[in-house]
């Protein structure tokens, strides 16, 4: 997942589910499903980077492709870690609330 995908996911969540002109509600993925999709994209990005590195070691790929794939995987991982940190922070804040 890159920053553009994160922005699109955020915009989709903020849209409120009214994305059609007829005013019919559109089924939006839940938070858990959204996180699963993000994690799947991150894993896919990491695997693509590993594939590019393997091809470069064998002499079949270019270093530009390797650097691009690794940078994309790093950005995806940083996004996931930032979201995880915010979720943990929100959970801790909720747990501190008086009943």
Task: Please count the other Cβ atoms lying within 10 Å of the Cβ belonging to residue 45.
Answer: 22
* Predicted local distance difference test score (pLDDT) of residue 93: 94
Residue 10, token pair as written in the block: 């955020």
Q: What is the dihedral of CA 66, 7, 83, 64, to 10 degrees?
A: 10
Is-contact 11 28, C-beta < 8 A?
Answer: no
Task: Flag residues of the chain having pLDDT under 50.
Answer: 17-21
Kindly report, residue by residue over 7-19, the tens digit of the pLDDT.
Answer: 666 666 666 544 4
Tell if the pTM clears 0.75, that is, is over it: no
């Amino acid at each position: 997942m890159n920053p553009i995908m994160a922005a699109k996911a955020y915009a989709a969540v903020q849209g409120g589910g009214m994305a059609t002109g007829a005013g019919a509600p559109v089924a939006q993925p839940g938070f858990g499903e959204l996180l699963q999709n993000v994690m799947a994209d991150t894993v896919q990005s990491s695997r693509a980077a590993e594939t590019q590195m393997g091809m470069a070691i064998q002499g079949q790929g270019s270093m530009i492709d390797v650097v691009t794939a690794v940078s994309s995987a790093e950005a995806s991982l940083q996004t996931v870690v930032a979201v995880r940190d915010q979720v943990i922070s929100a959970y801790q804040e909720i747990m501190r609330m008086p009943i």
